[in-house]
Structure 1
Amino acid sequence: MAKAKAKGTGGIGRRGFLAGGAAASGAALLTGTAGAVAAPARAADGTAVALAEPITAVTPGDKRYKDLVRGWNQRWVANPETVFLAETTAQVQQVVQTAVKGNKRLTVRGGGHCWEDWVFNPDVRVILDMTKMNKVYFDSAKNAVCVEAGSQLLNVYERMYRTWGVIVPAGMCFQVGAGGHVSGGGWGLLCRQLGLVVDHLYGVEVVSVDADGTARVHVATREAEDPHRDLWWAHTGGGGGNFGVITRFWFRSPGATGTDPAKLLPQPPSEVLLSAVSWPWAEMTKDRFARLVKNYGEWHATYLKPGTVNDNLVSMLALNHKSNGYIGLVTQVDATIPNAQQVLDDFLAEMTKGLDVAHQPLATHMGELSAMPELAKPRRMPWLQATRYMGTTNPTLNDPSLKGDFKSSYYKTAMPDAHIDAFYQHLTRDDLVNTTASVLLSSFGGKVNAVAQDATAAAHRDAAYKAAWMIWWTDPADEAVSLKWIREFFHGVYADTGGVPVINDVTDGCYVNYPDIDLHDPQFNKSATPWHELYYKGNYAKLQQVKKKYDPRNVFRHSQSVQLPAS
């Protein structure tokens, strides 16, 4: 699941938004269906730049307006004065500059998958929509593959793989925006084999705002001598909506040599082996449930570190509410490795060890997973076809009417008995009937574990697997019971640690691409661990210094954005 929801955050992780805001005074923004931002922009060196071509500007009288002021989660709808659809970095710079001068709160939409209201909220006066900045191309000057921040993940895969036979190991959901997904760390189905998407990030282009209110363009790379290397580092897991507007990424794997783009990034398997099975809740006793969940955690804790054949396997265990009828397991293995079928068989044997109930085809959708009855017998598929299949076929993710709420945690070990008991309790409650209500356990570790916690801003390198709580609804009357269930479930699991998965020997915090506003609410987080430690662990203080350097006026902000340091 790769969502993450803020352009920069965004989402199962994946969602693509970069939220922001503005605090200054000056001229008002232009309005209308199209026009150029009037205020002069400044280049990175402070010199004036030429005005770009007119920018598409959508206002409330435009028929497109209602579609452009909402994203994937229909809980959040904004009412801005203007939505600007930028196509170039110069246009982005001008919109930011004019918003600052006009004291207009600015947020930025990437793919539209933010799980919270970091983009679409009542305070927003200007939305900068990045979806027209969606090109993917080889940049010979940077010797890297460039991905514009508004690109959706499936478009990135299609362009990279069809053109050069390479990919970045990003998320599963096809319409997630690159801007939010990458900046939040970027989990995906090839993570155990190839690491996180940020492990291949060479550079980033960001429009930020100086202390004097000047919008500037910065290009930051991982080169040791780059004066803006700290800005690159902040976008390797520091989340969106924190430092500026991301306009472009450049990807080149560490250690890659030469100038052939086909050799600068990893190649995915030519084929993968997919399996999907389920177990009926009607036969899932408490003991059987505990055995299945324990098996999943033990396998991932055993193979946390890289260097085994199991680096080539990733799986997702969908623990659905009993009203769904089933619990499901989806597994993907690199089909090109020796004895791939045996690797899959061994994994399934470990999952079913001690479980005296037979599995069945996965015949119903489960949270972010589609029904996949045809995969009851493992099936070989070309990688790109499998990626399209996994990312586009889920009716829940593609339903434009749904509202939802989400939470997350990382685990370092097999799930403790007390946690499993709480899972069983809430998944079998009778006060909820909702087939989308679930927790998705998904693989981590492998090559993710090979990178130091402070090498990138994505700090959860010790995690073996992660958990994503999710529930969707359409009828407003269902919101209260849905929120009650997910909150009582999540905070109940971690009751012994103040209601949240604190950093300890068992749990490892939360995924910023699955943002959760309750983490900074003392009603729900009663621990001594603040929300930013759950997201960033020991990397937060450095992120604050990057914030101070590149966004000293706190222009780019939302309800859980990186805060300026006290001094």
Structure 2
Amino acid sequence: METMGKLSFLITTLTIVMSISSTTSQSSIQNFLNCLPYSQVSEVIYTPNNASFSTILNMKIQNKRFRTTTTPKPLAIITARDAYLVQATVKCAKRNNIQIRIRSGGHDYEGFSYVSDVPFIVLDLFLLNSVNVNLKEETAWVDSGATLGKIYYTIAKNSNSLAFPSGVCTSIGAGGHFSGGGYGNLMRKFGLSIDNIIDAKIVDANGNILDRKSMGEDLFWAIRGGGGASFGVILSWKLKLVQVTPQVTVFNVKRNVSEGATDVVYKWQLIAPKLHKDLFIRVQPNVKIGKGGEKIVQVSFIGQFLGTVEKLLPLVSESFPELGLKESDCISMPWVNSTLFWYNKPIGTPLEALLDEPKDPQPVYSKFKSDYVKKPIPKEGLESIWKMMIKGENFFMQWNPYGGRMEEILSSETPFPHRAGNLFLIQYLNIWIDESPQVIERHVNFSRLFHEFMTPYVSNSPREAFLNYRDGDIGANHPSNVTKFDIARTYGSKFFKENFERLVNVKTKVDPDNFFRYEQSIPTRSTN
């Protein structure tokens, strides 16, 4: 009876605490809403009482693991249409001690831009999406809510010789993509997105709008690869556009393991980072069903060359004859059309498809992870990797080659440290449809198991990871309103290596109260 009495007391106490917490949250959110410019509230603020709340929230949730009935929901969503409301949102949230999550495209693999384990609001930037190209300067100002597709489309409408090095998924928002690095198939020639950004506008923790000059070089350094959400709300970026050839050549050559794919992959490791910087060849191992119904591994060699087929074929024939690239494998097109090819759109798809944004994300669940490879994986290792892949269900990888421009930029030039010394970056992708908790757990566990299996073949001390391929497994603060320095150093060293300490110094200077924080944010120096 004594035990039952204690249990009853604990339940009663927990109920009271939850009730107080709920009341406090409701009081804070009401004060927050009252703090905002009243004339705009009805048009841009969505609370759970609003009929459109779920539509607005789910519109940019790209991973349905974070769209379940048990997923924590924001107290409000602010769909900012101008910089003034962004400023007001930051000031009012800080005044009422409400955590803020900043979302541009919703592709955050762990949902950190729209989910939290403490009461929070979402500042959604999808309506801030203008793209303005200056042909004379060969630059463009792009808002954080602009998708990569809109950026590519607008550049191409203004010029057939200008481009911008960035990602292949055209529905990604510029805000998070650029602030994490911006990785794409032009990086061997031109570097990452952040290597071609020359200015930015940010709302800081005090609600001030700063550009490169007023924010200073330290903060400008930090937001180009250190993740913008630790430092403020990035409104827009100024891009330095790059010159590309009138035609680029793309190809996708597939080889089964039974057809010698292992030998081709092994040779690719040796030469892909050393090829001419105009050539980028991604290796993508997938599990397929063979003719007999058995699982097999098929490897796709997906390439892009800044030039014509006539120049490409001799280059590959000399350096990579094992690929067996033929003229019939190659397709020439303007650069902007190649962005549709990389996004798996059929050849001939109209450019307007770059502007398409799904009204509702595809019904898929996913778990992603990353690794860096510094030494060639031996053939025996590759064979064991293929066998391990077959044990999964909807698991595949993308191996993206380094070299070229990435070898020329110092690791301290931006917070992104993964430069020279890498052969390639691995992205592990696990995608499925079934929403049952058991299936979700099985897939997530397999991703973790595979990542552990790859330990002998990848970087170590630290085992490096790519910020844009967000992975909560490598360290995260819970609850997210408490940032512990030791935990932050764990994930920070993997994302940023030696640049982590400088990021901490910048954070301490520009946001000493640690207002902008989330599970993997940069801590202040005073954080315990």
**Smaller-chain TM-score bracket:** 0.7 to 0.9
Q: CA deviation at 1:341?
A: 2.7
If asked which structure has higher relative contact order (CA below 8 Å, sep 6+), I would say 1
1:412 aligned onto 2:374: yes
Shift in Å, 1:111: 0.9
Separation of aligned partners in 1, 2:267 and 2:373: 14
Give runs of aligned pairs for residues 470-481 of structure 1, distance below 5 A.
470-477=429-436, 478-481=439-442
Q: Distance in 2 between matches of 1:380 and 1:234?
A: 38
Q: In the alignment, what sits opposite 1:444? A: 402
The alignment partner of 1:67 has SS state of: helix
Structure 1 residues 104 and 376: CA distance shift in structure 2, 3 A? farther
- How far apart in 1 are the matches of 2:337 and 2:499? 37
Q: Is the 8 A contact 1:152 1:175 kept in 2?
A: yes
- Structure 1 residues 522-556: Cα deviation after superposition (integer angstroms, max 9, x where no partner): 9xxxx9x9321111111010011111112212221
User: Residue 274 in 1 paired to residue 274 in 2?
Assistant: no
Matched, 1:66 2:54: yes
Mapped to 2, the partners of 1:421 and 1:557 lie a distance apart of 42
Offset, 1:335? 2.0
Match of 2:216 among 209, 217, 228: 228
Contact 1:296/1:414, CA 8 A, preserved across alignment = no
Partner of 1:7: none
Which residue does the alignment assign to 1:121?
115
Indicate the RMSD between aligned Cα atoms, in angstroms: 3.3
Aligned residues of 1:403 and 1:473 also touching (Cα < 8 A) = yes
Residue number in structure 1 paired with 2:365: 403
Q: 1:116 to 1:240 in 2, by over 3 A?
A: farther
More displaced 10-residue stretch of structure 1: 119-128 or 536-545: 119-128
Match of 1:482 in 2: 443
Between the aligned partners of 1:419 and 1:236, the Cα distance in structure 2 is: 35
Alignment of 1:76-87 (within 5 A): 76-77=66-67, 78-87=72-81
- CA shift, 1:336, in A, is 4.4
Structure 1 length-normalised TM:
0.74
CA distance in 1 between counterparts of 2:328 and 2:65 reads: 35
Q: Which residue of structure 1 lines up, in the alignment, with residue 520 of structure 2?
A: 560
Residue 350 of structure 1, CA deviation: 4.0
Counterpart in the other structure of 2:284: 318
Out of 200, 203, 221, the position equivalent to 1:204 is: 200
> Is 2:326 the counterpart of 1:331?
no
- SS at the partner of 1:137? strand
How many residues align structurally?
Answer: 464
1:466 and 2:425 correspond: yes
Name which of 458, 464, 467 aligns with 1:509: 464
1:156 counterpart residue number: 151
State the distance in 2 between where 1:128 and 1:521 align.
22
Amino acid at match of 2:120: R
Distance 1:315 1:158 in 2: 24
Unaligned runs of 5+ in 2: 1-24, 290-294, 347-356, 478-486
Task: Give 3-state SS (helix, strand or coil) of 1:215's partner.
Answer: coil
Cα 1:104–1:142 shift into 2, 3 Å: farther
Instruction: Confirm or deny: 8 A CA contact 2:274 2:403 kept in the other structure.
Output: no
Deviation readout 1:15-48 (Å, 9 max, x if unpaired): xxxxxxx9x97972228xxxx8249xxxxxxxxx
Would you say the 8 A contact 1:37–1:54 is kept in 2? Answer: no
Structure 2 vs 1, CA of residues 559 and 416 (structure 1 numbering), >3 Å: closer, same or farther? farther
Larger radius of gyration: 2
TM-superposed CA distance for 1:333, in Å, is 0.8
> Share of identical aligned residues, percent?
23
Provide the residue aligned with 1:379 in structure 2. Answer: 331
Letter paired with 1:561 = S
CA distance in structure 2 between the aligned counterparts of 1:111 and 1:392, rounded to whole angstroms? 19
Q: Which residue of 2 aligns with 1:6?
A: none
Distance 1:292 1:566, change over 3 A: farther
Q: Aligned equivalents of 1:377 and 1:342: distance in 2?
A: 14
Partner of 2:503: 543
Cα separation, partners in 2 of 1:337 and 1:329, compared to 1, 3 Å:
closer
Alpha-carbon contact 2:271-2:320 (below 8 Å) kept? no
Query: Deviation string for 1:249-275 (max 9, x for gaps)?
Result: 1123xxxxxxxxxxxx31222211111
Letter in 1 for 2:112: W
Q: Structure 1 stretches of 5 or more lacking a match?
A: 1-21, 40-50, 253-264, 304-309, 353-358, 361-374
Task: Render the CA deviation track for 1:489-513: whole Å, top value 9, x for unaligned.
Answer: 111210x59xx73258xxx711110
Mapped partners of 2:119, 2:268: distance in 1? 43
